[in-house]
């Protein structure tokens, strides 16, 4: 039988309505309207700031690569380190919140992050950039929870699920907002502006959470020495898996033995960690619950819905980059995504009920499928404005699905008791992190393979005696004749231009294949979700009839 944890401080005299659902969560105090508004403003600012720091790196990664003279492999480590730290920190975040309080944990993390950013202003090199991203990933996890709880304080207890929806949805605004403001903020001749802005965000967050603190929570003794042994097994296992997914398409899967060694080490560490947890008296991870049918369905569904969201983060964005779009041209593109996420989040919160949770998830999948249909048949003439309708739908789906997905998992975990919440937090974070990484890695690999196939196919069709080919070469000859006099150099330039056109058209076709494949995945996920709903209703009617 599991040992009952002891309280570390006297429990406040809460009414039943004020008592938090779980230790570590703030009390549900009924605040005055002005104070609720302040909680909401602070919560939104903190929630957006949690994702904005990493958003700046993603938006400016090519320029940062140039600043530090990095290879593509080295540049890929910068966002990868953030993800490694973020997914690993969730292993201990929930228990740290229960034992020490979320407020203290978050404030300490912010102070450390501020100190590291100040140091980075003076020490600007690649190694320091990696260290800053690592600390940023550790800080983002408690900061996201902090923003969510501040927003929830702005709602009455009966409406706190709506606050949960808004908090989770607004956390996704960091990336599009970073793309929107980066061109006006970043000066390639003075990168200190970017780091100074990040520092300012962290200082504002710290000032806000210190000025208006969250209500008290129940603090209980939950940490055991065995928890840290589990952490030191699972955290590097997750980190190595992040490394494989981030570097696989760059190093190429079958050309780099280090990917194989990293994958083997990751598998061994994760398996050993889970086996160790399986036989503990008070486990950190409830492995028996992980093996149940309902939990496995949740894992698969959560992983796949984040996977198909890659239609936006990989296909649309990288296609436009391939077509030569720069940061300034992405601003209106991400403005549309920004408002799509806001609209989806507010729609999800406004229509919240127990009966609509699953319907919201299915609707999000349907919107992604529609977006894939709108984006199919790309050409080299496509520009950001051609993606506005589809990416608004994907943004809407992204804002809408995350809240219901979390709520489904929370309700399932609480049915088995509060001890299962740590497992769920790790599970939810892992599915969203690895779902996104897996989507980008898979589609990047698929796109590269299809590009090579189409390039070979197009090249084999180039016959100089073909009138169309000859006409195109003549056009290239005219364009180079004004600058190049040597006939041999002219011919080389013509073939070089032709090869560039072939490469571009091969990539266009490959991205169309990526979008089509993602649409197929969305169809299967939608059918699977509809089947599960129909089966659940049929079983419910059957049980009612038998009763």
Per the domain annotation, does 264 fall within a domain?
yes
Per cent of the chain over pLDDT 70 is 88
202 and 239, same domain (yes or no): no
Q: Does residue 489 carry a pLDDT above 70?
A: no
Strands of 147-199, DSSP E: none
Mean pLDDT on 270-282:
85
Q: Give the pLDDT confidence of 495-521 residue by residue, as tens digits.
A: 677 777 788 888 888 888 888 888 888
Q: What is the mean pLDDT of residues 54-74?
A: 80
For 386-436, the pLDDT digits (tens) are: 888 888 998 898 888 777 777 777 777 767 766 677 777 777 778 888 888
In 3D, which of 105, 89, 85, 107 has the Cα closest to residue 97? 105
Q: Which of 235, 255, 281 is the last residue of a domain?
A: 281
Q: Are residues 142 and 291 in the same domain?
A: no
pTM of the model: 0.84
Asked if residue 178 and residue 73 are part of one domain, the reply reads yes
Looking at the fold, whether 459 and 438 belong to one and the same domain comes out as: yes
Specify the CATH number for the domain of residue 156. Answer: 1.20.1250.20
In a domain, 11, yes or no: no
Q: Is the pLDDT of residue 291 over 80?
A: no
Q: How many domains does the chain have?
A: 3
Do residue 368 and residue 514 come from a single domain?
A: yes
pLDDT (0 to 100) of residue 250: 82
Strands in 61-107 per DSSP E: none
**Helix (H) and strand (E) counts in the chain:** 19, 0
Q: Does residue 245 sit in the same domain as residue 208? A: no
Query: Are 151 and 44 in contact, with CB atoms under 8 Å apart?
Result: yes
In a domain, 463, yes or no: yes
For residue 56, tell me if it sits in a domain.
Answer: yes
pLDDT in tens, 180-219: 888 887 765 566 777 788 888 888 888 888 888 888 777 7
Per-residue confidence (pLDDT) for residue 484, from 0 to 100: 60
**CB within 8 Å of 142: residues ≥ 6 apart:** 89, 93, 96, 97, 102, 105, 106, 109
Mean pLDDT of the region 3-20: 66
Q: Is residue 360 part of a domain?
A: yes
Task: Reply yes or no on whether the pLDDT at 545 is more than 60.
Answer: yes
The alpha carbon of residue 324 and the mean position of all alpha carbons in its chain are separated, in whole angstroms, by 25
Mean pLDDT of 148-168: 81
Please report which residue ranges of 415-485 form alpha helices under DSSP H: 421-460, 467-481
Domain that holds residue 58: 20-215
Does 329 fall in a domain?
A: yes
Per-residue burial over 1-33, b = 16 or more CB atoms within 10 Å of its CB, e = otherwise: eeeebeeeeeeeeeeeeeebeebbbbbbbebee
pLDDT(1) > 60: no
Q: What is the pLDDT of residues 227-260, one digit of tens each?
A: 888 888 888 888 888 888 888 888 888 888 888 8
Kindly state whether residues 97 and 53 are assigned to the same domain. yes
Q: Does residue 402 sit within a domain?
A: yes
Q: Which residues on neighbouring strands pair with residue 187, listed in sequence order?
A: 190
Average of per-residue pLDDT across 129-149? 81
Query: Looking at the structure, do residues 335 and 292 belong to the same domain, yes or no?
Result: yes
Q: Confirm whether 8 is domain-assigned.
A: no
Same domain, 398 and 500: yes
Neighbours of 546 (CB within 10 A): 6
Do 89 and 159 lie in one domain? The reply is: yes
- Say yes or no: 453 and 530 in one domain: yes
Residue 164 or residue 480, greater confidence: 164
372 in the same domain as 469: yes
CB atoms inside a 10 Å sphere around CB 118: 14
The pLDDT value recorded for residue 2 is 47
């Amino acid at each position: 039988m599991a040992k009952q944890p002891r309280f570390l401080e006297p429990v406040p005299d809460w009414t039943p309505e004020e008592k938090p659902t779980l230790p570590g969560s703030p009390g549900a105090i009924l605040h005055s309207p002005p104070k609720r508004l302040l909680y909401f403003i602070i919560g939104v600012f903190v929630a957006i700031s949690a994702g904005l720091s990493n958003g700046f790196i993603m938006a400016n990664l090519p320029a940062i690569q140039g600043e530090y003279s990095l290879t593509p492999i080295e540049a890929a480590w910068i966002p990868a380190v953030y993800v490694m730290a973020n997914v690993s920190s969730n292993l201990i975040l929930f228990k740290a919140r229960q034992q020490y309080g979320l407020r203290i944990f978050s404030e300490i993390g912010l102070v450390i992050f501020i100190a590291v950013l100040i140091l980075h202003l003076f020490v600007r090199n690649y190694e320091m950039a990696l260290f800053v991203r690592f600390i940023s990933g550790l800080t983002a996890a408690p900061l996201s929870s902090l923003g969510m709880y501040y927003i929830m304080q702005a709602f009455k207890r009966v409406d706190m699920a709506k606050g949960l929806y808004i908090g989770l949805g607004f956390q996704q605004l960091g990336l599009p907002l970073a793309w929107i403001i980066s061109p006006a903020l970043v000066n390639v001749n003075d990168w200190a502006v970017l780091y100074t802005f990040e520092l300012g965000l962290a200082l504002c967050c710290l000032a806000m959470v210190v000025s208006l603190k969250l209500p008290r929570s129940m603090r209980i003794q939950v940490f055991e020495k065995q928890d840290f042994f589990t952490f030191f097994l699972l955290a590097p296992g997750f980190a190595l898996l992040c490394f494989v997914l981030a570097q696989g398409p760059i190093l190429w899967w079958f050309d780099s033995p280090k990917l194989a060694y990293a994958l083997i080490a990751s598998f061994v560490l994760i398996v050993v960690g889970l086996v160790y947890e399986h036989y503990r008296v008070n486990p950190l991870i409830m492995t028996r619950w992980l093996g149940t049918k309902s939990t496995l369905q949740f894992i698969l569904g959560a992983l796949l819905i984040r996977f198909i969201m890659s239609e936006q983060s990989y296909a649309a964005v990288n296609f436009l980059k391939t077509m030569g779009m720069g940061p300034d041209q992405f601003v209106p593109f991400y403005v549309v995504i920004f408002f799509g996420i806001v609209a989806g989040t507010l729609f999800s919160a406004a229509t919240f009920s127990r009966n609509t949770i699953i319907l919201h998830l299915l609707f999000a999948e349907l919107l992604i499928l529609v977006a894939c249909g709108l984006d199919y048949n790309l050409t080299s003439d496509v520009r950001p404005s051609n993606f506005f309708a589809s990416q608004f739908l994907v943004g809407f789906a992204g804002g809408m699905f995350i809240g219901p997905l979390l709520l489904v998992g929370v309700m399932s975990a609480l049915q088995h008791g509060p001890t299962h919440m740590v497992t769920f937090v790790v599970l939810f974070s892992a599915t969203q992190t690895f779902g996104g990484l897996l989507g980008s890695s898979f589609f990047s690999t698929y796109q590269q393979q299809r590009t090579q196939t189409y390039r070979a196919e197009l090249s084999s069709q180039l016959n100089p005696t073909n009138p169309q080919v000859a006409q195109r070469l003549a056009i290239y000859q005219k364009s180079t004749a004004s600058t190049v006099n040597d006939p041999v150099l002219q011919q080389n330039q013509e073939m070089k231009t032709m090869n560039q056109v072939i490469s571009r058209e091969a990539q266009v076709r490959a991205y169309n294949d990526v979008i089509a494949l993602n649409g197929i995945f969305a169809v299967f996920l939608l059918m699977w979700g509809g089947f599960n709903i129909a089966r659940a209703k049929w079983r419910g009617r059957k049980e009612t009839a038998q009763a």
